[in-house]
Amino acid sequence: MGAAFLMAMSAIGPGFLTQTALFTSQLGASFGFIILLSILIDFVAQLNIWRVITVADRPAQEIANKLLPGLGYLIAGLVFLGGLAFNIGNIAGAGMGVNVLFGWDVGVGAMVSAVIAIGIFIYKEAGKAMDLFAKSMGLIMIGLTIYIVFKSQPPLAEAAVRTVAPTQFSFTALLTIVGGTVGGYITFAGAHRLLDQRISGIENLPSVNRGALSAIGIASLMRVLLFLAALGVVSAGHTLDLSNPPASVFQLASGKFGYKLFGLVLWSAAITSVVGAAYTSVTFIRSFHPKIKEYNNVVIIVFILISAVIFAFVGRPVQTLVLVGALNGMILPLALGIMLFAAYRSDIIGNYRQSFWLTFSGIVVLVLMSWMALQTIIELI
């Protein structure tokens, strides 16, 4: 469950909150159908990737290098740089959360949040502290959002109908929320945590399956709750503030108190994403040199510090985040493709035999995500 919450909380960042509220305001109850599709895609991608990594008992970059020399370095570089860029946005989000809660300057709030994240990795039992922190923040976010759903009184019957019979659809929305749940470094967060916990090998596949499905379940539960809260507000005739859609949802549903609750949810989402991004990004480079592994927590702390310093001096580089978002969208099909090939290499996975249906569904997701990522890149160009 520690690995599951780490992956889920890595997914639930400031962008996750904003995208969910924004797409609900655009698509209404039909956004439920896109969430349903994304959950199915997430399950397939996550199961394929987590099972191969844990059976091979190697991190993703080592599997990639075994498959094709040099490929692991490419994957590691993409994930590490993407994680660093998004961590700047996560630290900015944490600063905004502190600003809403206490009225402090966003920059001050960001620095305080960075210090709290660093404190987790200074602790001797950093792994246990990280798991407990992710679980605690996750439960707080879910509990507060349930309250906002109750206050906003969404049309549940309409949401249920449109989830299976939508009147609107958006490929952009689907690609965005799939990428925001299992794109970039996020899908590897839990799998690499399982390796650190020594939960690997064929004998542990039932635990791996539970962890993978639980991770997507937790992230999806938060997505559904946010969708229902936003739907209740939009259905009541309110218009969301496009400069901060999720804040509008909480404020319109429960006034000033709701706005303060949003500050706590935003801070929780951002700070757990800072921790998850830093931890996972460093797992992609530590196997390349013994010193990185020896000083793992120090490297993670430096990673967070660099993110905080860049934010302090540059602010939030929106264009960089958009471009890296497209890059992270490409990482999922690339990573999934590597794992699908590796699942049939006995020198990587030994006697393990991948399920035909898991492979087949993985190929379908690979083709779909590759096509959607290509369309996004064409739009950016």
CB-neighbour burial class of residue 36 (10 A; exposed 0-12, middle 13-18, buried 19+): middle
**317 has pLDDT over 50:** no
Most confident region among 65-74, 121-130, 171-180 by mean pLDDT:
65-74
Nearest to 83 by CA among 338, 310, 368, 375: 310
DSSP secondary structure, 67-131, as one string: HSTTHHHHHHHHHHHHHHHHHHHHHHHHHHHHHHHH---HHHHHHHHHHHHHHHHHSTTHHHHHH
Q: What is the pLDDT of residues 83-93, one digit of tens each?
A: 887 888 888 88
Torsion angles phi and psi, residue 201, rounded to 5 = 90, 160
Task: Please report the pLDDT score of residue 15 as a whole number.
Answer: 78
Helices (H) and strands (E) counted in the chain, each on its own, are 17, 0
Cα 164 versus chain centre, distance = 25
Give the structural domain span for 59. 2-380
- The pLDDT of residue 164 is 93
Q: What is the pLDDT of residue 32?
A: 94
* Portion of the chain with pLDDT greater than 90, in percent: 24
- What mean pLDDT is reported for the chain? 85
306-329 per-residue burial string, b: 16 or more CB within 10 A, e: under 16: ebbebbeeeebbeeebeebbbbbb
pLDDT of residue 324: 54
Residue 305, pLDDT score: 92
Q: How many domains are contained in the chain?
A: 1
Instruction: Place 188 in a pLDDT band, splitting at 50, 70 and 90.
Output: confident
The reported pLDDT for the residue numbered 328 is: 62
pTM: 0.87
pLDDT at 331 over 90: no
- Cβ-based burial of 53 (10 A; exposed 0-12, middle 13-18, buried ≥19): buried
The CATH number assigned to the domain holding 96 equals 1.20.1740.10
Q: What percent of the chain has pLDDT over 70?
A: 94
DSSP states along 167-224: S---HHHHHHHHHHHHSTTHHHHHHHHHHHTT--SGGGHHHHHHHHHHHHHHHHHHHH
List, for residues 291-304, the tens digit of each pLDDT value. Answer: 888 888 899 999 99
pLDDT in tens, 192-249: 888 888 888 888 899 999 999 999 999 899 999 999 999 999 988 888 887 778 888 8
Q: Which residues of 196-225 are buried (b: 16+ CB within 10 A; e: fewer)?
A: beebbeeebbeebeebbbbbbbbbbebbbb
Is the pLDDT assigned to residue 377 strictly greater than 70? no
